Amino acid sequence: MRLARTEGDVAMKAWQKSVIGILALLALMNGLGLTDSLNRWLTDAHWRFRAYFKPTPFPDDILIVAIDDKSLRKLGRLRHWSRKRYAQLLERLRLAKAVGIDILFAEPDEKDPQGDAAFAAAVRRHGRVVLPFHQWQGRILSESEREATKRLKLKLPTVAKGKTLHVPFAFVETFQPPLPSLLDAASAVGYADVNADPDGVYRKPIILRQTSEGKLMPHFALAVACVAKGKRLTEVIQPVPLSLRFGERVVPLEGGALWLHHIARRSDLIVGLGSPVPTVSFVDALTMPPEKFAGKIVLVGETATGTTDIRPTPLDNGLRGVELNAEIIANLLYLPPVRPMPLALQLLLISLAAVVPLWLYSTTSVRMATMGAFVTVFALAVLMEAAFWLGRWLANLRCAFAGLAFVNLAHGFAETCPRRSTEKANPPNLLPLCCP
């Protein structure tokens, strides 16, 4: 004998279908990236609030020697500088823990070859200098340029045998190295290019790549951090899970990318969110005693008005490239690491945002269910905020709130459609209103 289904059974069946449909819709939206902008906006807002209510001072061990307006006024335009000036600076920086010169030296100075030779000698003599290389601008390479990329391959470390790294691939042939004399003299090299999010803001730079030949290609800032710690790149990479180990400190990577803990603002921005990066002018550094830079990680780069190397972040839309590199180094060596909330926990929160309101709408009154839905989203928001403020976990805020919105829309349609059908089948009798 087959028992008839009760209304509760039918309601539960509809509730289950709603859960599956809403979760499938959320997965589709997430896969298509339709809610990425919302999540980026919410995450940026959190970093701005954190910088305002809980500011973090920039590490004193990192210092920028800035090619600023003052230096250009006294020494002339940068393109007219002899590279002997960098040799003079390196003499002042001889006690620094590491020096990263965030300037491209891809072509020889034909007017002053002695300056190139003096600079290369100073780099070799210092022994802890990192130089950048960058991508060719989409042209066919000459024979000498192809030879230069071969020299660059020899400079890059090799992935250890038996280790598999899940990082993006890069082709060495697409990068332009420094001058051969500088390439040979440098302690390490790294690529200078930094990737931004689709909206042009720098939140998650890729700092580690590998080539098809098994060569490791570090970002410039990662190469500086390794030199500062006296470690080879192969010594700090942990393949499973992918991370970087500097002593007891472990920095997680996601596909070779580093989630940034944003604290920096421009050194010459007097008022604003974030902490100014410690900076001295290039022209002043030439006369400072070497003890001023003892034990420091020094970056040399442009901050002068009109520089095109601008890297917007959630805290400062005018941050310069050398300052972003300083922030990356601070994240690698000093700041508490940032990581996305574990996927299992994110899926649990998203499911709760969809399941609990649907269950309430199917078992209680509309008023109680609506109150319960708002209590649910409030509890989820509190949990996500605690994860960000206490554990620096970046939660997927978009899906939880979108799930709640879809639940309420689904319930509204479910309530409205039967009511309209009933009114159409049984139109109200308006005659008593007209003829009392």
pLDDT (tens digit per residue) in 325-359: 999 999 999 999 988 877 777 777 777 777 777 77
* Amino acid (1-letter code) at residue 192: A
Q: Which of 59-63, 259-263, 333-337, 387-391 has the lowest mean pLDDT?
A: 387-391
- Tell me how far apart the alpha carbons of residues 257 and 262 are, in angstroms, rounded to a whole number: 15
User: Is the pLDDT at 98 greater than 90, yes or no?
Assistant: yes
- Tell me how far apart the alpha carbons of residues 64 and 58 are, in angstroms, rounded to a whole number: 12
* pLDDT interval class at 277 (50, 70, 90): very high
Query: From residue 402, how far is each of 19, 399, 406 by CA, in Å?
Result: 13, 5, 6
- Between residues 16 and 359, the one the model is more confident about: 359
Mean pLDDT of 53-77: 94
Of 150, 128, 349, 85, nearest in space to 225 by CA: 128
- Between residues 219 and 416, the one the model is more confident about: 219
| Ranges assigned E (strand) in 303-358 | 339-340
- The pLDDT assigned to 93 comes to 97
- The pLDDT assigned to 394 comes to 77
Number of helices and strands (H, E) in the chain? 15, 16
- Tell me how far apart the alpha carbons of residues 12 and 35 are, in angstroms, rounded to a whole number: 30
Report field, pTM of the whole predicted structure over 0.85: no
Among all chains, which residue has been given the structure tokens 């590279």? 83
Among all chains, which residue has been given the structure tokens 């028992």? 3
* Amino acid (1-letter code) at residue 59: P
- Between residues 381 and 32, the one the model is more confident about: 381
- Between residues 213 and 264, the one the model is more confident about: 264
Q: How far apart are the first and last CA of the chain?
A: 54
Name the range with the highest mean pLDDT among 13-27, 173-187, 322-336: 322-336
Cis peptide before 241 (omega within 30 of 0): yes
- Tell me how far apart the alpha carbons of residues 24 and 21 are, in angstroms, rounded to a whole number: 5
- The pLDDT assigned to 367 comes to 76
Pairing between strand 249-252 and 243-246?
Answer: antiparallel
- Between residues 304 and 432, the one the model is more confident about: 304
- Between residues 428 and 199, the one the model is more confident about: 199
Mean pLDDT of 361-375: 76
- Between residues 349 and 430, the one the model is more confident about: 349
The full set of domain ranges for the chain reads 7-52+340-420, 57-334
Pairing between strand 98-101 and 339-340?
Answer: unpaired
Of 256, 247, 261, nearest in space to 219 by CA: 256
Query: How many other C-beta atoms can be found within 10 angstroms of the C-beta atom of residue 337?
Result: 17
Mean pLDDT of 148-155: 86
Instruction: For Cα atoms 192, 120, 133, give the angle at the middle one, nearest 5 degrees.
Output: 15
- The pLDDT assigned to 408 comes to 56
* pLDDT interval class at 204 (50, 70, 90): very high
- The pLDDT assigned to 314 comes to 95
CB 102 within 8 A of CB 301: yes
User: Is the pLDDT at 429 greater than 70, yes or no?
Assistant: no
- Between residues 431 and 306, the one the model is more confident about: 306
Q: What is the DSSP letter of 5?
A: P
- The pLDDT assigned to 23 comes to 57
Q: DSSP readout, 131-193?
A: EEEEE--S----HHHHHHHHHHHHHS-BPPTT------B--GGGEE---HHHHHH-SEEEE--
CB 319 within 8 A of CB 266: yes
- The pLDDT assigned to 258 comes to 95
- Tell me how far apart the alpha carbons of residues 9 and 15 are, in angstroms, rounded to a whole number: 10
- The pLDDT assigned to 2 comes to 47
Can you read off the two tokens belonging to residue 306?
């009109």
Mean pLDDT of 64-89: 94
- The pLDDT assigned to 185 comes to 95
